[in-house]
Structure 1
């Protein structure tokens, strides 16, 4: 698989926007229906006014991000059979968000909150398939329902648990920057690619976003 097929390409981490593309080259065996949207994504806190267009918000060093929360190791969604290992991912020199090449593994955006954090959006990303036709764990996000339980097992701590509240599909170049927020109410954001699939334009043209919230106490 090429490097371009292993990344969410085009993630521009700027003061005004974060744009992400799950670029996959394989051709599905047939037309892939777009999953139905449901629920309402929790409202983010008010955005700060942009003061420049230089690359910001992604720390140059891991130490610049608070790491009081245990690192995630595995994500499970029992209702649809997701059971995937997690490894930390970051961004490259072009601002592209790396995604594990193995579709059975998910990536945790390590410059944002960790699952189980008391604030912000913890982001997990994964491929829906690969160029060999192997189906990824996150393909099952097409089947989740409101209320499905999500468990994130963490290093040296109990699991962080969530309930699915929404699913939506957006064009690959319009991923909302609020998905990567570090403040506000805690949520878990799961991202994979979604149809339409157009080989001549680089593969999948949309991103599927599933949002889950901690259960109410």
Structure 2
């Protein structure tokens, strides 16, 4: 049987990510050329580079980035990988993606509705986010700090390609849904429930903290043949004046079980 391809599989997407107050702005340049650039109003982000780079770390000098995304873990510092590094390898055997619906009615039903991450006690509804007329990709409303946002033009969780879900790390009232995202590590499970009754289980394969000035666009949003998930929130130092964090936390996960 010929392999079904999603829109993301037909061409490589490029996205830039920028965070604002306790949140994360996902910037998606569809297929690296089709969609307009998007940013959330904080500092502009640099595009992915072809060659490895060095990162300047406050009070620590420069260091060469590792060739792979780290596994994370208790008391393990999160660092970025080289921009040319691929996504981390799956922690568990990969299962085949859920076929994309063929009819419009079925596509409307197949939407993520809830995400659960037992390790960090996340049990949150999933809303859809998209770009506005100014080219900015929305984040969940600050009035709903426990809600996450799925970019509705990324693959539906379970289908081939990288599904993109973002969430705030904090609001002015306190911690938000992804406050503990940085605690995840290779082997942890993430469950995404769909409105058509299907349930997907992803297993974390790696996690990194990347500067917004050198965001790993291709690694996060590049095409994949299997079903993958990216969870993104803010990290690093919070600038009270700019209402922005310096970094993004990115969790990579691969579909390891499905039902329904």
Answer whether TM exceeds 0.5 for this pair.
Answer: yes
Task: Give yes or no for contact 2:22–2:244 (8 Å, CA) kept in 1.
Answer: no
Distance across 2 between alignment mates of 1:22 and 1:143: 27
Q: How many angstroms does 1:88 deviate by? A: 0.9
61, 72, 76: which one pairs with 2:112?
A: 72
Q: How many angstroms does 1:70 deviate by? A: 1.6
Task: Give yes or no for contact 2:211–2:248 (8 Å, CA) kept in 1.
Answer: yes
Whether 2:58 is the aligned partner of 1:13: answer no
Whether 2:237 is the aligned partner of 1:192: answer no
Distance across 2 between alignment mates of 1:182 and 1:69: 24
1:115 matched residue in structure 2? 157
Cα separation, partners in 2 of 1:22 and 1:78, compared to 1, 3 Å:
farther
131, 142, 145: which one pairs with 1:103?
A: 145
Distance across 1 between alignment mates of 2:132 and 2:149: 14
Cα separation, partners in 2 of 1:113 and 1:10, compared to 1, 3 Å:
closer
Whether 2:87 is the aligned partner of 1:42: answer yes
1:130 matched residue in structure 2? 171
How many equivalent pairs are there? 184
Distance across 2 between alignment mates of 1:79 and 1:176: 26
Task: Give the secondary-structure state (helix, strand or coil) at the position aligned to 1:84.
Answer: strand
RMSD: 3.6
Task: Give the secondary-structure state (helix, strand or coil) at the position aligned to 1:163.
Answer: strand
Per-residue displacement from partner, 1:142-200 (whole Å, max 9, x unpaired)? 21121001100111222111101111111224333332345533210000000111122
Whether 2:211 is the aligned partner of 1:171: answer yes
Cα separation, partners in 2 of 1:127 and 1:143, compared to 1, 3 Å:
same
Cα separation, partners in 2 of 1:35 and 1:89, compared to 1, 3 Å:
farther
Cα separation, partners in 2 of 1:71 and 1:194, compared to 1, 3 Å:
same
Q: How many angstroms does 1:203 deviate by? A: 2.1
TM-score (structure 2 length as normaliser): 0.60
2:248 matched residue in structure 1? 207
2:126 matched residue in structure 1? 86
TM-score (structure 1 length as normaliser): 0.71
